[in-house]
Amino acid sequence: MEKTICELFAGVGGFRLGFDALASGWNTVWFSQWEPGKKIQWAHDCYVSHFGDSPDTNGEYHTGEDIAEVNKTTIPDHTLLVGGFPCQDYSVAHSLSSSQGIEGRKGVLWWQIRDTIIAKHPPFCLFENVDRLLKSPAKQRGRDFGMILACLANLGYSAEWRVVNAAEYGGAQRRRRIFIFAYKDTTQYAQSIAEETAGSVILEKGLMPQAFPVSDIASLTEAELPEDLYTVSDTFSFPFKKAGYMTGGKIYTTEVTEKGEPPIVLGKILEPCPEENEDLYLDVERLKKWTYLKGAKKIPRVAANGHKYVFSEGPVAFPDTWDKPARTMLTSESTLNRSTHVVNDPHTGKLRLLLPEEAEKLQGFPSGWTGITTANGKEMPRRMRYFCMGNALVVPMITRMGRVLDTIIEKEP
């Protein structure tokens, strides 16, 4: 079986970098990256600057356009469909034009993935999302992830999932994300996995425990997915845990104990601040604001209905310590907020924000990856470099799963 990839919601190329690092013959045949409402598509431009653009089967280029407007049948065939898509509201309503159709909320990107699967039937899929997907929405816990699994089951796929903290598997950041590995029930892999118990799949035999080893699992919780997506949307709720397996519409989920590996600590990432970035140092005025934002607070407030309450939050490490992996980096990194990292510069000892190159290394990207200049001579703004990294995934986690996929693909006819 060929090792070809289609990368949706590609960002600046984290999935591609992860597979390219294997040097085992993976070839990305098409990608899509489009940021709504942005005049300059910086992430797309960064991707193209490193990898070049990808034509569709008609020889046309639509990689930097809204994926909802792309004719999915013109996407080149591929073995593996990948993508990091946002956690959104996956509820559906009956289509006005047909009682048989479904109509998801406009702009919800899961439906673009589903449409691509319907059009191209990839044998394997690998998706990434925030871990709160398992518990959303708050009013109907587990519905949204249940919708994804139900769609996959209806299309003839089984799936494994796992919430991974990158720092527990050698990463430099305490970043928790869910990875979903789906595969057609007709694949050799599916047939071999079907011979295993659900517990065995989650503990050792599946792709996820091979990529992210565990020492033990708790007792399994089971459920049956409704076949009808409207029923899932209206009534389904389930306490998904951080590991699980779905086949034939039946769900098995459990907590796991990670074997874990030593992380990369923040001190190993830091480098002396160059002169052109000296404005990242905190002056006296900014230091006061950061000290307040990072500190513990108890603030009396009044709700719209007149109810009085106290808003409270605990302290955040200030500055961030060198002997631990970094906290989760957000798209707001470098702006004045509690989540932004503040560190002691290794050369001067003074407090400053992270360099863009340090943000890249925290995600496992090569230093300088987003420091691009477009064809028309525009340099990616520093603020956008942080934004792109906050949106990115931890590249070495993809490489870990890719190694297991290599062994799976070798056994496919």
10 Å Cβ neighbour count for 168? 17
Residue 395 has pLDDT above 80, yes or no: yes
Of the listed ranges 48-52, 95-99, 171-175, the least confidently predicted one is: 95-99
- The type of residue at 398 is I
Question: What is the mean predicted confidence (pLDDT) over 258-280?
Answer: 95
Report yes or no on 380 lying in a domain. Answer: no
> What residues make up the domain containing 65?
4-262+394-410
Q: Indicate whether 158 and 281 sit together in one domain.
A: no
pLDDT, tens only, 127-157 = 999 999 999 998 999 999 999 999 999 999 9
Report yes or no: 123 and 47 within 8 Å, Cβ to Cβ. Answer: no
Q: Indicate whether 230 and 334 sit together in one domain.
A: no
Of the listed ranges 6-20, 105-119, 229-243, 279-293, the least confidently predicted one is: 105-119
Separation CA 16–CA 7 (nearest Å): 8
Report yes or no: 143 and 98 within 8 Å, Cβ to Cβ. Answer: no
46 catalytic per annotation: no
Q: Indicate whether 246 and 294 sit together in one domain.
A: no
Q: Which residues have CB under 8 Å from 20's CB, separation 6+?
A: 26
* pLDDT of amino acid 105: 60
Separation CA 354–CA 340 (nearest Å): 9
Residue 104 has pLDDT above 80, yes or no: no
Q: Indicate whether 116 and 23 sit together in one domain.
A: yes
Q: Indicate whether 271 and 287 sit together in one domain.
A: yes
* pLDDT of amino acid 98: 40
Report yes or no: 258 and 283 within 8 Å, Cβ to Cβ. Answer: no
Q: Indicate whether 24 and 114 sit together in one domain.
A: yes
Report yes or no on 134 lying in a domain. Answer: yes
Q: Indicate whether 86 and 160 sit together in one domain.
A: yes
Specify the length of the chain in residues.
413
Report yes or no: 158 and 183 within 8 Å, Cβ to Cβ. Answer: yes
How many Cα atoms are found within 13 Å in the side-chain-facing hemisphere of 3?
Answer: 19
Report yes or no: 233 and 150 within 8 Å, Cβ to Cβ. Answer: no
- With cut-offs at 50, 70 and 90, classify the pLDDT of residue 96: very low
pLDDT, tens only, 34-49 = 999 889 999 999 999 9
Catalytic residue among 87, 125, 151, 388: 87
142's torsion region: left (phi>0), alpha (psi -120 to 50) or beta?
left
Question: What is the mean predicted confidence (pLDDT) over 13-30?
Answer: 97
Report yes or no: 129 and 211 within 8 Å, Cβ to Cβ. Answer: no
Q: Indicate whether 248 and 272 sit together in one domain.
A: no
pLDDT, tens only, 285-323 = 999 999 999 999 999 999 889 898 898 999 999 999 999
pTM over 0.85: yes
